[in-house]
Amino acid sequence: MKQLMHKYLKLTKRPLAGYKIFDKQTKIAKRAYLAMLLFMAIVVYYVLELFSIVETTFITIEYVGVVFILLVLFPLLYIHKRTTDKVLLTHDAMAKQNLFKRYKLLFYNDVTKVKQTRKNALIIRGKRRKFKVKMDEYTHDFNVLKTILTYEGHFKQKRKPYKLFFEGNDIEIQELSPSGDPVTSRLVERFHDDYKHVTPGFLDDIIMYNCEVERVRFIDQKHVVFLLNHVDLKGDYPENTHFESMQTDDAMMLFQDVTHVEIFKLGKNNGDDIELLGTSVATLKKISKGAIVTEANFKALGERFSTDMVLMQGSRKQKIRFTFKEVVVGFNELKKTAWFENK
């Protein structure tokens, strides 16, 4: 277990907290113990021959060695195999014990394929390793693994946001409710093929600072997509299974029902030499490709939100304002701890 905790800490930069270990519930065949009892009887008889207590001499030391392998070593390996293969589940990963009682770690995000056999075994393939787990060998509550993998988008299901809670020896899984707005739901559906994680809302947990705007796309006259090189997500964001703020890989932010657009070209002193570039949604095309977001503030306005952004590209500076109804964030992986986490 110490080996697993050390490995988890090394990979995630945080301690392993909140987990449950599932032991195998298999029975040991009686013949394994009977074989070892038979070996003991043979050893006793060999000792009796050695001290001439009995007159026969057909048991040799070589014979005892061969019998030891057959009647002791093989049964012990069998018992060891039946009592290992523990499985540990935590917030963002699973681990399986091997024959040497060392745990192999597999993060849910790294699972590429899951197959269930006719004998109710799960074959879980990751980027670097494969686990085979026989579900019937564990207690009934171990079915939570299948539930987790279902939420992760396997078993021909689409991925859904969720969170795991560990209390004592219990695991609770909570589905995070998606937006009830049908337009937002259709937009989320549209981007599921491009991004593993696509989630509407939770604007307070999204940080856009110092990200690069690679491109601006328009779904229609009301919906605008910012393609970014990353976003930062706070620890409370539903798709962030870490206990700290994390930076994503390439990401997108979709702003729904955009109105009241203003885009300005700023002079060197911000307040001087301001040029209004446009007030329509289409004007957002004027955002410089490769511009860096140096400021991004969001404010709730009843059932809508407003944003003020400042973007820089070299000496060129732009200020953008607009209102929107909802935001949808898409990304594939959490890459590293956010820049502001340890400050």
pLDDT, tens only, 92-136 = 888 888 777 788 888 888 888 999 888 888 999 988 888 888 888
Q: Which residues share a beta bridge with 309?
A: 296, 320
- Which of 7-11, 105-109, 260-264 is predicted with the least confidence, judged by mean pLDDT? 7-11
Cα–Cα dist 338/343, whole Å: 10
Whether 65 shows a pLDDT value over 70: the answer reads: yes
User: Quick one: pLDDT at residue 324?
Assistant: 92
Is the pLDDT score of 243 beyond 80?
Answer: no
Sign for the CA dihedral angle at 163, 165, 171, 176 comes to negative
Q: What share of the chain is helix, strand, coil (3-state, %, to 5)?
A: 25, 35, 35
Report pTM.
Answer: 0.59
- Short-list 38, 100, 96, 107, CA closest to 71: 38
Predicted confidence band of residue 323 (pLDDT cuts 50, 70, 90): very high
Comparing 202 with 343, which gets the higher pLDDT?
A: 202
- Rounded to the nearest integer, the mean pLDDT of the chain is 84
Distance CA 232, CA 121 (A): 38
Return the percentage of the chain with pLDDT > 70, whole number.
Answer: 94
Q: Which domains does the chain have, with CATH numbers?
A: 2-24+85-175 (2.30.29), 30-83 (no CATH), 182-337 (no CATH)
How far apart (Å, rounded) are the C-alpha atoms in residues 179 and 204? 16
The residues near 54 (Cβ < 8 Å, ≥ 6 apart) are: 45, 48
pLDDT of residue 253: 92
pLDDT value of position 266: 82
- What's the distance, CA 50 to chain centroid? 63
With a cut of 80, say whether residue 88 has pLDDT above it.
Answer: yes
pLDDT band at 277 (very low <50, low <70, confident <90, very high): confident
